[in-house]
């Protein structure tokens, strides 16, 4: 994505994507871990945990409410007390915004058991927006070329669809998903949702209590969905697990984490490849080679391909009715 491009592309909810995203922005020693079970012990086993990112299906009617949230209480004074909270002002940016909601609020040892080194670029961004209200912070985030380009590196590659320019889908013709963040800050558990007018407080909470208390809030939220709904994703923001493995001398864990990083790197490199364009170029090369052999040979090749395709279709039809 060029520096001039102004849109935000859709990216996947993936632990390797989010880990590489924050590393590209200069964040040190942080990774994301997908949680496959909704229990406090799983979160605690990854300690220190800076927060969690929750992805869920958007339900009509769960929109911005200026009076009160469905759970918890609005805490507009939290921003004045140092909490970084930005309104979501642009499509497709909610994943990165939820990630930054955790990262930018856990950069001090006073807010967690071990603060995050957010790097000079995000430090500069946080300091620049320190006195801004949430809506202006959201606009500043959306217009940050550095953050936008780091996000768009992981866009789905397609020669046919420009994710940055197409209009957002309506609730009637598309399933919408949304990211929000939960984290302990200043002795409270906060829910940071850029579509809400203020941070949402869920009672007192410190880093030690966070695993139990966030699970309680998530269970209440999931309980509002119809029975059988499973389209949720939960990721923990944790310290680089390779560091932990080295500290406790767990060689097996260290090797496992190194292999995981290698897999993430491979998967992220594939995300940047345009395989449709590659296939098109390959077909052009094959057709060009056949044409060099002469028109007669080219026509024979086309007819043979048609017969083979027809035969495969007939065999599939026979198998379906057999």
DSSP string of 94-146? Answer: HHHHHHHHHHTTS-STTTSSS--B-HHHHHHHHHHTTT--HHHHHHHHHT-HH
Contact yes or no for 179/53 (Cβ under 8 A): yes
DSSP three-state, residue 208: coil
What percent of the chain clears pLDDT 70, i.e. is strictly above it?
Answer: 80
Instruction: Render pLDDT for 72-125 as a digit per residue (tens, 0 to 9).
Output: 999 999 999 999 999 999 878 889 999 999 999 999 765 555 689 999 999 999
Cis peptide before 48 (omega within 30 of 0): yes
Domain locations in the chain as residue ranges: 15-239, 275-321
Q: Which of the four pLDDT bands, split at 50, 70 and 90, describes residue 278?
A: low
Share above pLDDT 90 across residues of the chain, in percent, rounded to a whole number:
54
φ, ψ for residue 30, nearest 5 deg: -130, 145
If one counts every other C-beta atom within 10 angstroms of the C-beta of residue 174, the result is: 10
Which residues carry out catalysis?
94, 178
Match 């097996």 to its residue by tokens: 252
pLDDT of 304 reads: 82
Q: What's the pLDDT at 226?
A: 81
Residues, the chain, total?
Answer: 322
Taken in order 156, 162, 166, 172, the sign of the CA dihedral is negative
Beta-ladder partners of 55: 179, 233
* Cβ atoms of 74 and 197 closer than 8 Å: yes
> pLDDT tens digits, residue range 119-134?
999 999 999 999 999 9
- 184 dihedral zone (left: phi>0; alpha: psi -120 to 50; beta): beta
Specify the range with the lowest mean pLDDT, choosing from 48-57, 62-71, 181-190.
62-71
Element (H, E) at 279: helix 275-292
What CATH architecture does domain 15-239 belong to?
Answer: 3-Layer(aba) Sandwich (3.40)
Q: What is the residue whose two structure tokens read 């979501």?
A: 88
Residue 235, φ and ψ in degrees, nearest 5: -125, 140
Query: What average pLDDT score do residues 43-61 get?
Result: 86
Give me the phi and psi of 184, to 5 degrees please: -85, 135
Q: How confident is the model at residue 1 (pLDDT cuts 50, 70, 90)?
A: very low
Contacts of 19 (CB under 8 A, 6+ apart): 30, 31, 32, 264
Give residue 265's pLDDT band: very low, low, confident or very high (50, 70, 90): confident
The DSSP letter of residue 111 is T
Helix (H) or strand (E) segment spanning residue 241: helix 241-248
Q: Which residues contact 265 (CB under 8 A, 6 or more apart)?
A: 16, 20
- pTM of the predicted model over 0.85: no
pLDDT of amino acid 84: 97
């Amino acid at each position: 994505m060029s520096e001039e491009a102004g849109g935000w592309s859709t990216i996947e909810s993936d632990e390797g994507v989010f880990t590489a995203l924050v590393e590209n922005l200069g964040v040190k020693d942080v990774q994301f871990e997908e949680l496959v079970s909704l229990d406090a012990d799983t979160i605690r086993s990854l300690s220190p945990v800076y927060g969690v990112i929750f992805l869920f299906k958007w339900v009509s009617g769960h929109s911005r409410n200026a009076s009160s949230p469905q759970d918890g209480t609005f805490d507009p004074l939290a921003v004045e007390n140092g909490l970084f909270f930005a309104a979501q002002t642009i499509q497709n940016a909610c994943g990165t915004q939820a990630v930054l909601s955790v990262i930018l609020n856990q950069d001090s040892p006073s807010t967690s058991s071990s603060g995050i080194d957010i790097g000079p670029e995000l430090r500069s961004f946080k300091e620049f927006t320190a006195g801004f209200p949430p809506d202006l912070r959201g606009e500043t985030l959306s217009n940050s070329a550095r953050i936008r380009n780091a996000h768009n590196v992981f866009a789905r590659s397609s020669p046919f669809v420009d994710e940055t320019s197409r209009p957002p889908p309506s609730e009637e013709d598309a399933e919408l998903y949304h990211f929000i963040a939960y984290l302990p800050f200043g002795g409270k558990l906060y829910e940071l949702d850029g579509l809400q007018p203020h941070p949402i407080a869920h009672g007192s909470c410190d880093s030690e209590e966070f695993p139990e208390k966030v699970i309680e809030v998530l269970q209440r939220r999931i309980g509002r969905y119809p029975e059988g709904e499973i389209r949720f994703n939960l990721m923990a923001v944790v310290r680089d697990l390779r560091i932990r493995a080295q500290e406790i001398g767990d060689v097996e864990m260290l090797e496992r984490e190194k292999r995981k990083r290698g897999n993430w790197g491979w998967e992220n490199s594939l995300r940047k490849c345009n395989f449709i364009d590659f296939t098109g170029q390959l077909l052009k090369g094959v057709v060009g080679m056949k044409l060099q052999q002469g028109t007669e040979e080219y026509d024979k090749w086309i007819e043979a391909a048609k017969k083979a395709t027809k035969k495969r279709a007939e065999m599939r039809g026979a198998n379906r009715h057999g």
